[in-house]
Amino acid sequence: MKKDIIKGKVYVLGDNIDTDLIIPACYLNLVPTIPEEYEKLGTYAMAGLPDEYPPFVRPGESKSEYAIVIGGKNFGCGSSREHAPVAMGAAGVRAVVAESYARIFFRNAIATGELYPCESVDRLCDAFRTGEDAELDVAGSSIVQLRTGRRFELRSLGSAAPVIEAGGIFQYARKTGMIG
């Protein structure tokens, strides 16, 4: 499968999912550059969500079964914690598809290279259900709901895509010769 094709289960959220819901502050003492702590950080991804949501990472597991998170407006609002996209990436999330993003979450997702922050044209959190399978084509700027075959348009990531594919801003800078 191509690197920019992501196929998997979706986890559906609504509007204004803030960084405290994504990774509660009590887990910010985990250092993502230490492999054991990076993995542990992933186990706490979405730990701040209310009980009405199904577990994002099942108890005793280190990864989530969801490869794609679908959100509404203002995804990643709140504090400017880099840990939010890192925790999601550590849990196995490969992309977030939302109507709009808080600027800092969008920037941190690109800078860390943890996941693709794709922006939807339509309100997908009303079209998808948690657990459904989808296929996201990053380069083709679309996501297909496999249950129905419906294809939804996404806004292009443009020049941000190669930064994410390189593994983040520092790896991209090294790869392109900007830094040694």
What's the confidence (pLDDT) of residue 161?
Answer: 94
Residue type, 127: A
The angle, 0 to 180 degrees and rounded to 10, between the axes of the packed helices 103-112 and 83-90 is: 50
Q: So where are the chain's domains? A: 5-175
Confidence of residue 173 (pLDDT cuts 50, 70, 90): very high
Q: Which residue has the tokens 């992501």?
A: 6
What's the confidence (pLDDT) of residue 79?
Answer: 83
Q: Say which CATH superfamily domain 5-175 falls into.
A: Aconitase, domain 4 (3.20.19.10)
What's the confidence (pLDDT) of residue 83?
Answer: 94
What's the confidence (pLDDT) of residue 80?
Answer: 73
What's the confidence (pLDDT) of residue 59?
Answer: 93
Residues 33-50 have a mean pLDDT of: 96
Annotate 136-167 with b (16+ C-beta within 10 A) or e (fewer).
bbbeebbbbbeeeeeebebeebeebbebbbbe
Residues 113-132 have a mean pLDDT of: 97
pTM: 0.95
Read off the DSSP letter of residue 134.
E
What's the confidence (pLDDT) of residue 180?
Answer: 80
pLDDT tens profile 63-117? 999 999 999 999 999 987 889 999 999 999 999 999 999 999 999 999 999 999 9
Average pLDDT, rounded, for the chain: 95
**Does residue 1 carry a pLDDT above 50?**
no
